[in-house]
Amino acid sequence: MGKNDLIERYIYAVTKHMKTAMQKDVAKELETIIQDMLEERCEDVIPTEHDVKVILTELGTPAELASKYKGETQDCLIGQPYYSLYVYVLKIVTACVIGGMLLAQIMAAAISHTIWYIAVYQIISGILGGVLAGFAFVTLLFAFLYKKEIKIEGLSDGIDNLPPVPQKTNRISKADAIIGIIFSVIFTIIFLVCPQIICIAFVKNGVGVYEPLFNLEYIRQTWYLILAFGILGIVRDSVKFIDGSYTKRVMFVTIITNLIDGALTIIWLLNDKIMNPNFFEGIEQLFGENAEGISQVFIQFNKVFLAIIIFALGINCIETVIKALKYSRK
């Protein structure tokens, strides 16, 4: 029997969230099993689409089969077909939170010259708090999806609703999506936990001084905007990771999240309170006669930063829309 679209889509759905090394072995084994079952069922008769569906139904849903191959249990609040993806996303978020919190806490301790054992306590407690928060957020999200039976492309139990196998040109790299999630997590952690690490260091009256670029009071007051930036970025890249290709859903989610992201960024960065006036004193202390030109650059920093962000969001929207419309016609 030659290649069958339904079989290819079934195998893709099973192996979609497996490690690359495991994908090839499982795909090869599954293909052999399916062919053997079809030969046993149909003997010398050419298998029909109905025969293929019967065999695939006997094997089980892609999510159930993937769990068996990966040795996962389902004794939890979240059942299939969400459980496998839940475990995968939880691992990514936990790694991001640990890395981000570790980096942020170490830099914050170094700047504040905290006593080493207090710094160690702060680092450990910060990491534990971040991991617990991340675990709670991901678990509640997937529990909600499971209880409300919200459909996610590629996670449907039905054989008739298997995701298409994306072409190489249409695929979204898992690495790119994960990097995007990591960036969103680290950005959120840094600005919520220790925004003072973005600073200038200089000596004033014989004493080392650190002046942050941003007004810390304003950053603390706008914590909800920073949290929104992080959530929007995680949602956008999570959908890309889940779908794995430029689908129309990826297009709509990207447009909506980028529009909200852009609007909130304008509100956040165009406020005159965002910059720390004492930062420019540090520039004068550090650069002397050349301070005026450098100060002018940083005075406009929030506007330049805003322009870069809006440009990047716009390019991302255009690229996603073009690719989604292009490949959806095929």
pLDDT digit string (tens) for 209-261?
777 888 889 998 999 999 899 889 988 988 888 777 888 888 999 999 999 99
Question: For residues 226 and 188, is the Cβ–Cβ distance under 8 A?
Answer: yes
Q: What is the mean pLDDT of residues 48-58?
A: 80
- Confidence label for 96 from pLDDT (cuts 50, 70 and 90): confident
The answer on 272 and 228 residing in a single domain is yes
How many independent structural domains does the chain possess? 2
Helix (H) or strand (E) holding 201: strand 199-204
The answer on 302 and 258 residing in a single domain is yes
| Residue that is last in its domain, among 71, 99, 130 | 71
The answer on 145 and 1 residing in a single domain is no
The answer on 33 and 174 residing in a single domain is no
Helix (H) or strand (E) holding 208: strand 207-212
The answer on 12 and 113 residing in a single domain is no
| Residue that is last in its domain, among 71, 91, 110 | 71
User: Is the confidence at residue 274, as pLDDT, over 90?
Assistant: no
**Range(s) of the domain holding residue 45:** 1-71
How far is 71 from 223, CA to CA, in rounded Å? Answer: 40
The answer on 104 and 236 residing in a single domain is yes
Predicted local confidence at residue 302, as pLDDT: 81
| Cα 194 from chain centroid (whole Å) | 21
What pTM does this model have? Answer: 0.63
Question: For residues 56 and 10, is the Cβ–Cβ distance under 8 A?
Answer: yes
The answer on 146 and 84 residing in a single domain is yes
The answer on 115 and 18 residing in a single domain is no
Predicted local confidence at residue 287, as pLDDT: 65
| Residue that is last in its domain, among 71, 88, 108 | 71
Q: What is the mean pLDDT of residues 105-116?
A: 63
pLDDT digits (tens, 9 = 90+) for 154-197: 555 556 666 666 666 677 887 888 888 888 888 888 888 778 77
- Which of 107, 95, 108, 13 lies closest to 62, judged by CA? 13
The answer on 168 and 79 residing in a single domain is yes
Predicted local confidence at residue 268, as pLDDT: 92
The answer on 45 and 13 residing in a single domain is yes
SS3 per residue for 86-127 = HHHHHHHHHHHHHHHHHHHHHHHHHHHCCCHHHHHHHHHHHH
Question: For residues 273 and 215, is the Cβ–Cβ distance under 8 A?
Answer: yes
The answer on 301 and 258 residing in a single domain is yes
Return the higher-pLDDT residue of 102 and 291: 102
SS3 per residue for 44-65 = CCCCCHHHHHHHHHHHCCHHHH
Predicted local confidence at residue 254, as pLDDT: 93
pLDDT digits (tens, 9 = 90+) for 5-16: 778 888 887 777
The answer on 153 and 32 residing in a single domain is no
